[in-house]
Chains A and B, each alone.
Chain A
Amino acid sequence: DVKVTQSSRYLVKRTGEKVFLECVQDMDHENMFWYRQDPGLGLRLIYFSYDVKMKEKGDIPEGYSVSREKKERFSLILESASTNQTSMYLCASSLSAQGAFFGQGTRLTVV
């Protein structure tokens, strides 16, 4: 079974803090993704990576950065958290052109 693990289920951070969301997959997938999901807006792609140290912007990259130093780990960084970044964050991984598998999600609240 594919396992995608996100480091936290729930996080509460203060405005202006630097926030790290970690994601690890154990299936040697080359592709990894970060999405955020908000009511009425569906899943929106923030960043994705198709190889170690490679990254591409998704549809809403502003205010975020990513890091992929190892194949199994893809980190999402909120440089200076703001209240409009309160959301559910979902990490996923996939192999080539196949469907992706998701982690359980991190519900981030910025106060």
Chain B
Amino acid sequence: RKEVEQDPGPFNVPEGATVAFNCTYSNSASQSFFWYRQDCRKEPKLLMSVYSSGNEDGRFTAQLNRASQYISLLIRDSKLSDSATYLCVVNDFGGYNKLIFGAGTRLAVHP
């Protein structure tokens, strides 16, 4: 089983739609969680951290469910500029800050 698993997509949605991505992780001792965004042929960029109580940043909402070992990202009112690959990242804190990346979920927002 992969340490971090994501649905690869693609998710094709119209502008203005709400879209949600899920991600599951295997190590129950993981302590930090993040969502990254990666545009084509560019480096990944930190989108937001994910906190136990859930957190929001504008149109983006992240949730963590420790019992079920999954995290989610909700994007409301999708924009064309949201088209990218979204990477789920887990800090596999086995004594070191080792960041494990999911393979990513591709989002395509169309007019």
- State whether the Cβ of A104 lies closer than 8 Å to any Cβ in chain B: yes
Q: How large is the interface on A (under 10, 10 to 19, 20 to 34, 35 or more residues)?
A: 20 to 34
- State whether the Cβ of B101 lies closer than 8 Å to any Cβ in chain A: yes
A97–B46 CA distance with the chains assembled, in angstroms = 14
A110–B69 CA distance with the chains assembled, in angstroms = 39
Residue of B nearest to A31 (CB): B97
Known contacts A31-B97, A43-B44, A102-B43; A97 and B102 CB within 8 A of each other: no
Residue with the greatest number of chain A CB neighbours at <10 A, chosen from B42, B43, B49: B43
Q: How large is the interface on B (under 10, 10 to 19, 20 to 34, 35 or more residues)?
A: 20 to 34
A95–B32 CA distance with the chains assembled, in angstroms = 12
Q: Is the CB of B99 within 8 A of A33?
A: yes
Report chain A residues within 8 Å CB of B96.
Answer: 31, 48, 50, 56
Residues on A close to B: CB < 8 A? 31, 33, 35, 40-43, 45, 48, 50, 56, 58, 90, 92, 94, 96-105
Residues on B close to A: CB < 8 A? 31-32, 34, 36, 42-46, 49, 87, 89, 91, 93, 96-104
